[in-house]
Amino acid sequence: MSESDTHPILIVDDQEKLLRLIVMLMTRIGFPDVEGVTSAPEALERLRQRRYALVISDLDMEPMDGISLLREIRADDALMNTPFMLTESSFDFEDINLAHQAGADAFILKPFDMAVLKTKLKQVLNRKPRKREAPMAAESSLSVEFPMLGKF
């Protein structure tokens, strides 16, 4: 695979030192094109300018957190299939539940365990693309006559 047919990875973390460390780590494990930004709004701007193979985002950022960034990506038809991993030093059940509902592909704890990181990257990058669910019918499907229930 030539570099021209591999897409870059976007890292989003509001802590600059950690951002540089993650970019360096991803480069070392074999990703030739890794970019980093320090805010979710900046990430959205980049995502709308260039196609990325993966977004790895910190959960706890201001003014827009990782889950809000994820929701924006999943709501955009052009971006909805971008694989997305959330990172944080600890996750509670509510974080995981919200992220799962928003469409996160994976979670990874900081500091990264290299074996876990590589396994999750393979899983996320090899998954099938999402399909947008069929839009809701303008008219309720219950507006028909049911033999036992009458007309709804």
Query: pLDDT by residue (tens digit) across 111-140?
Result: 888 899 999 999 998 887 777 664 444 443
Q: What is the pTM of this model?
A: 0.81
Query: pLDDT by residue (tens digit) across 71-112?
Result: 999 999 999 999 999 999 888 888 889 999 999 999 999 988
Distance CA 60, CA 86 (A): 10
Q: Which SS3 state, helix, strand or coil, does residue 72 take?
A: helix
User: What is the band of 33 on the pLDDT scale with cuts at 50, 70, 90?
Assistant: very high
Contact predicate 34/6, CB 8 Å: no
Give the pLDDT of residue 151.
46
Kind of pairing, strands 34-37 and 84-88? unpaired
Partners of 7 in the β-ladder: none
Average pLDDT, stretch 24-37? Answer: 93
- Which residue type sits at 109? L
Distance CA 99, CA 138 (A): 29
Q: Which SS3 state, helix, strand or coil, does residue 22 take?
A: helix
Distance CA 57, CA 137 (A): 35
More confident residue, 149 or 48: 48
Give the pLDDT of residue 95.
86
Average pLDDT, stretch 50-64? Answer: 95
